[in-house]
Amino acid sequence: MPYLFTSESVSEGHPDKVADQISDALIDNFLAFDPNSKVACETLVTTGQVVLAGEVKSRAYLDVQEIARGVIRKIGYTKSEYMFEANSCGVLSAIHEQSADINQGVERQKKEEQGAGDQGMMFGYATNETEDYMPLALDLAHKLLQELAALRREDKQIKYLRPDAKSQVTLEYDDNNVPVRIDAIVISTQHDDFDTETKMLAKIKKDIIEILVPRIKTKYKKYAKLFNDKIKYHINPTGKFVIGGPHGDTGLTGRKIIVDTYGGKGAHGGGAFSGKDPSKVDRSAAYATRHIAKNLVAAGLCDEVLVQVSYAIGVAQPMGIYVNTYGTAKVDMTDGEIAKIVEGIFDMRPYYIEQRLKLRTPIYSETAAYGHMGRKPVTVDKEFRSPDGKVIKKKVELFTWEKLDYVPKVKKAFKLK
């Protein structure tokens, strides 16, 4: 029986994502000046106000206010009519030193014995639905908003867009769990004021269908066949959306964990990512399990897989690794037997995760919008400035957990051709 599945995404101007991006910019700056920094910072954004809170152990001294304003400026909140603007908003910092009780459970004399920064379970997922080994509905939802943001910045074809936006894509799957068509697309985008609401709704719907969607079909040709003339479009279904961003809705770090991961496919352990240094396994182990899952599918072991790992705070060795191939495994093994071999390929102690994925570098700002998973691993040059004028330049690898560097090891371990 065919069925429908839906995933959503939110833009970089969504208030929760504004908060995530500020928190991750702080992480990057701390790690740039002190790679051993321990940071857990939360951000709240609302009308004209940013509140920073959290715990830090670091040798770095930062101008956290200017870092926050720089993020807000880059997102596009640069006009007073938005009621949240980079240069004029208040920025209150309540960041303090990390608890010594937590720190003693993480740091060890031998680095490789580093304990997990917290207890909990983390999940990684991969599917061969897309070239990025991501669920298709989420992939499309992200790409719609990335193109919408590009149109906003170009300010040529569509001139009324503001930073806040959300998308949602519903796919129809056949009896073999293969996506066959797009059933519905929902897009709500913040916009400048119009003379009349009727004119506004007609204009926005026309531009989304005739400008945005063709760009997606042209740029991502592999998805073009899924578009059809029967798609149900819901464009700004509530009507007017002038008041948005942190003025329209308070934003908090860590409230978009499903957008950040797999759009509702697989599972989620509940821990957010942004604002946490890699000693927090909520973040590092979630990246590591994605790395495992993607390499297993790419090696041809299975078509779809969920990987879980769990930890006790202060303990290096994970409590266990769980694998679910949803009956798609290409080897004559149980999922439990597969998990045992996976344990031998990937060392999941926190120190080794940090080393393998190069996580103690300033790579996190780029993760904080449009998903932490399914992104392209690339090397970039970054520059950071401290309040005393010191400049740090670093070449860093982004999205290392998306690399397929373990495919040969997986094939060898499972005797795959």
Angle at the Cα of 90 from the Cα atoms of 85 and 93, rounded to 5 degrees = 130
Q: According to the annotation, is 42 in a ligand binding site?
A: yes
In single-letter form, the type of residue at position 59 comes to R
- Determine the Cα–Cα distance for residues 413 and 120; give it in Å rounded to an integer: 28
Q: According to the annotation, is 241 in a ligand binding site?
A: yes
Q: What is the distance, to the nearest Å, from the Cα of residue 101 to the centroid of all Cα atoms in its chain?
A: 30
β-strands 251-252, 38-46 pairing: antiparallel
Q: According to the annotation, is 164 in a ligand binding site?
A: yes
Which residues lie closer than 8 Å to 176 by C-beta, 6 or more apart?
A: none
- Determine the Cα–Cα distance for residues 286 and 249; give it in Å rounded to an integer: 28
Q: According to the annotation, is 276 in a ligand binding site?
A: yes
Q: According to the annotation, is 155 in a ligand binding site?
A: no
Query: Crossing angle of helices 281-298/350-357, nearest 10°?
Result: 60
- Determine the Cα–Cα distance for residues 108 and 93; give it in Å rounded to an integer: 30
Residue 298's nearest CA partner among 401, 406, 223, 373 is: 406
Q: According to the annotation, is 221 in a ligand binding site?
A: no
Report yes or no: 23 and 15 within 8 Å, Cβ to Cβ: no
Q: According to the annotation, is 343 in a ligand binding site?
A: no
- Determine the Cα–Cα distance for residues 338 and 238; give it in Å rounded to an integer: 48
Report yes or no: 269 and 120 within 8 Å, Cβ to Cβ: yes
Residue 286's nearest CA partner among 124, 138, 55 is: 124
Q: According to the annotation, is 116 in a ligand binding site?
A: no
Q: According to the annotation, is 255 in a ligand binding site?
A: yes
Q: According to the annotation, is 55 in a ligand binding site?
A: yes
Cα-based distances in Å from 380 to 35, 147, 150, 236: 18, 22, 20, 36
Q: According to the annotation, is 354 in a ligand binding site?
A: no
- Determine the Cα–Cα distance for residues 353 and 171; give it in Å rounded to an integer: 35
- Residues making up the binding site for L-methionine: 55, 98, 249, 280
- Residues making up the binding site for Mg(2+): 16
- Residues making up the binding site for K(+): 42
- Residues making up the binding site: 14, 16, 42, 55, 98, 164-166, 240-241, 249, 255-256, 272, 276, 280
- Residues making up the binding site for ATP: 14, 164-166, 240-241, 249, 255-256, 272, 276
